[in-house]
């Protein structure tokens, strides 16, 4: 599992030099106490790096210059303990390249009614200083997040943690390319997109790697290695009886073990975070990677089928945001509806490639034919997804811009066995209800591919979209399709600029 402590969040506390050294020292002492507490609270997964109190335009600009160049800096948190005139911040903010959180809090929780005097008022001035600071963010149209509340309150800390995780995903996306094995599935529209714009907006490097490079690595991996990996499978999952003895089914599982190793070797050698495959380009591989993709997603890699690099990178981003949070995250696809009145639900799945992190109970390795692609029968993990609240997120390219769409759903227990459908699957009820959610998703242009997560909420994706400078559309309990249609028109005016 990824450790988010490697990401630094610079804590820049603003003041000014009019107050004198004694006040500035108090500001610094308070900021130190806050930074130490933040670093000891698991709600804040990153490392808070406290910086010297920012009191002049030159020093403020210097801090932002340093942050831009700092390899581990994933974001900047600002807070004005006292008043800090905002014209001093313009140069620094204008050159800043890191995600911003404007923390609006006050060191003292309560007003000391009997003791309060003008010294106290001048020191505990966030109510006033943070409004000056917020104005300049609004004036400069900066895409930051404002998180307000008492700094020891767990809800405020949770909100800071969400932003930290989104910023970690953004930093990771800039450092972890996606490897595309083969191109997009022929004639499919939604998996296409502007890879240059993706790199400009998200930092994602999206490049193609020959299937021949992968298949020649695959051919070099010996049976002994595959058998060792099979022992790991046997320890982690249930194996179908035919897979426990020599024969065609066990051979199919061992082939997936070799594919898993070959893909992982290439991901590691390129320091990549995500990959895509396509069943139309498997030359030199015996099967469509199934179990291999499921295992690599479980290890934290992003994945997209049929060459879908947008959802692959979004799955990776979600995996980073969800690191250490209870629940699972997977590549997903809307497959089939259940339209019985009162029990409407969506059956989500894919041909094979669903991450076992979302499983309810122990997944089972099975080998079955695949009716597409013309290759050998692939091994895959079969399971039902755990019930509970979840979100679906997708990313589309509208030609002029990217749009992220998120739908809140409730995953339910699958009561009816489906013995003839040997794939991993999830059954969910979308909010506000199936028909309105489907209408809302479709008028927004949402694809059949998405990222599914029981670990994350819409807030993570919203923060990530905002810091990436892209449009965000939410479909939840309060969604009215008519209202959304209007919102989409207004968004054209804002985003279509």
Give the footprint of Mn ion on this chain (CB under 5 A): 305-306, 333
Minimum Å gap between C-beta 483 and Mn ion is 31
Residue 330 Cβ, how far from Mn ion at the closest point, in Å? 13
How many Cα atoms sit within 13 Å of 309 on the Cβ side? 27
Instruction: Return the HEC string of 444-493.
Output: CCCCCEEEEECCCCHHHHHHHHHHHCCEEEEECCCCCHHHHHHHHHHHHH
Question: In angstroms, rounded to a whole number, what is the distance separating the alpha carbons of residues 14 and 130?
Answer: 9
Of residues 82 and 447, the one with the C-beta less far from Mn ion: 447
Taking the least distance from each CB to Mn ion, the nearer of 306 and 408 is 306
Residue with smaller CB distance to Mn ion, 250 or 368: 368
For strand 402-412 and strand 329-338, is the pairing parallel, antiparallel, or unpaired?
Answer: unpaired
CB of 276 to Mn ion, least distance (A): 11
CB of 351 to Mn ion, least distance (A): 7
Least Å from the CB of residue 303 to Mn ion? 11
Task: Name the minimum Å distance from CB 438 to Mn ion.
Answer: 18
| Nearest of 461, 190, 430, 468 to residue 304 by alpha carbon | 190
Q: Which is nearer to Mn ion, 174 or 280 (CB)?
A: 280
Answer whether 39's CB lies under 8 Å from 63's CB.
no
Question: For the residues of 338-386, what is the DSSP string, one character each?
Answer: E--TT--EEEEE-SS---GGGBSS--EEEE---SSSS-PPPEEEE-BBP
Beta carbons within 8 Å of 210's beta carbon, 6+ residues apart:
none
Q: Which is nearer to Mn ion, 74 or 305 (CB)?
A: 305
Of the two residues 307 and 328, which places its CB atom closer to Mn ion in the complex? 307
Kindly give the pairing relationship between strand 345-349 and strand 329-338.
antiparallel
Q: Which is nearer to Mn ion, 260 or 333 (CB)?
A: 333
Distance CA 358, CA 3 (A): 20
Q: Which is nearer to Mn ion, 298 or 306 (CB)?
A: 306
SS3 at position 235: helix
Cis check for the bond before 432: say yes or no (omega within 30 of 0). yes
Pairing of strands 471-475, 402-412: parallel
C-beta of 13 vs 305, nearer to Mn ion: 305
- Cβ pair 307, 180 in contact under 8 A: yes
Q: Please, what is the minimum distance in Å from the beta carbon of residue 384 to Mn ion?
A: 20
Q: Cβ closer to Mn ion: 335 or 495?
A: 335
Distance of closest approach, residue 306 Cβ to Mn ion, in angstroms: 5
**Least Cβ distance, residue 336 to Mn ion (angstroms):** 13
Collapsed DSSP state (helix, strand, coil) of residue 222: coil
Task: Decide whether 256 or 277 has the Cβ nearer to Mn ion.
Answer: 277
Output the residue with the shortest Cβ distance to Mn ion: 305
Smallest separation (angstroms) from Mn ion to the CB of 308 = 7
Q: Tell me the β-bridge partners of 337.
A: 346
Task: Map tokens 């932003």 to a residue.
Answer: 163
Cα–Cα separations (whole angstroms), residue 280 to 186, 239, 306, 330: 8, 28, 8, 22
The 3-state secondary structure of 412-435, one letter per residue: ECCCCCCCCCCCCEEEEEECCCHH
Which residues does residue 147 pair with via DSSP β-bridges, in sequence order? 103
Q: How far is the CB of 412 from Mn ion (least distance, A)?
A: 23
Beta carbons within 8 Å of 81's beta carbon, 6+ residues apart = 13, 14, 15, 27, 30, 31, 107, 123, 124, 125, 126, 129
Q: Which is nearer to Mn ion, 45 or 304 (CB)?
A: 304
CB of 57 to Mn ion, least distance (A): 53
413 vs 47: CA distance, rounded Å = 38
């Amino acid at each position: 599992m990824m450790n988010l402590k490697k990401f630094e969040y610079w804590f820049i506390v603003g003041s000014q030099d009019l107050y004198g050294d004694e006040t500035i020292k108090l500001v610094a002492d308070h900021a130190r106490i806050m930074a130490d507490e933040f670093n000891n609270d698991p709600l804040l997964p990153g490392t808070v790096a406290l910086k010297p109190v920012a009191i002049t335009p030159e020093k403020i600009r210097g801090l932002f210059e340093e942050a831009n160049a700092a390899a581990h800096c994933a974001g900047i948190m600002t807070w004005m303990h006292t008043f800090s005139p905002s014209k001093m911040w313009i140069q620094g903010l204008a050159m800043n390249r890191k995600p911003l959180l404007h923390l609006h809090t006050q060191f003292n929780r309560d007003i000391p009614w009997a003791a309060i005097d003008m010294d106290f008022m001048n020191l505990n001035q966030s109510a006033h200083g943070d409004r000056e600071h917020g104005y300049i963010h609004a004036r400069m149209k900066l895409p930051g997040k404002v998180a307000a509340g008492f700094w020891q309150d767990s809800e405020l800390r949770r909100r800071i943690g969400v932003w930290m995780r989104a910023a970690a995903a953004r930093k990771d996306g800039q450092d972890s390319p996606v490897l595309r094995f083969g191109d997009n599935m022929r004639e499919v529209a939604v998996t296409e997109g502007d890879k240059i714009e993706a790199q400009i907006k998200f930092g994602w490097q999206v490049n193609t790697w020959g299937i021949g490079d992968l298949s020649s690595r695959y051919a070099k991996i010996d049976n002994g290695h595959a058998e060792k990996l099979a022992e790991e499978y046997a320890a982690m999952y249930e194996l179908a009886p035919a897979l426990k003895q020599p024969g065609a089914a066990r051979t199919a599982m061992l082939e997936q073990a070799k594919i898993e190793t070959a893909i992982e070797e290439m991901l590691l050698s390129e320091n990549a975070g995500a990959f895509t495959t396509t069943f139309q380009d498997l030359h030199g591989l015996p099967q469509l990677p199934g179990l291999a993709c499921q295992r690599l997603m479980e290890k934290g890699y992003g994945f997209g089928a049929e060459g879908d690099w947008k959802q692959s990178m979004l799955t990776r981003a979600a995996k980073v945001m969800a690191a250490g949070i209870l629940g699972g995250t997977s590549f997903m696809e809307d497959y089939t509806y259940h339209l019985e009145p009162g029990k409407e639900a969506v059956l989500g799945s894919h041909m094979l490639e669903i991450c076992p992190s979302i499983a309810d109970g122990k997944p089972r390795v099975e080998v079955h034919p695949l009716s597409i692609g013309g290759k050998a029968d692939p091994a895959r993990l079969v399971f039902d997804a755990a019930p509970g609240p979840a979100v679906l997120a997708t990313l589309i390219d509208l030609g002029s811009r990217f749009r992220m769409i998120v739908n809140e759903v409730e995953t339910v227990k699958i009561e009816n066995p489906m013995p003839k459908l040997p794939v991993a699957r999830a059954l969910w009820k979308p909010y506000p209800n199936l028909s309105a959610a489907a209408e809302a998703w479709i008028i927004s242009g949402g694809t059949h591919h998405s990222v599914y997560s029981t670990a994350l909420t819409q807030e993570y994706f919203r923060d990530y979209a905002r810091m990436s400078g892209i449009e965000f559309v939410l479909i939840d309990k309060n969604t009215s399709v008519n209202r959304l249609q209007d919102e989409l028109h207004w968004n054209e005016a804002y985003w279509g600029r």
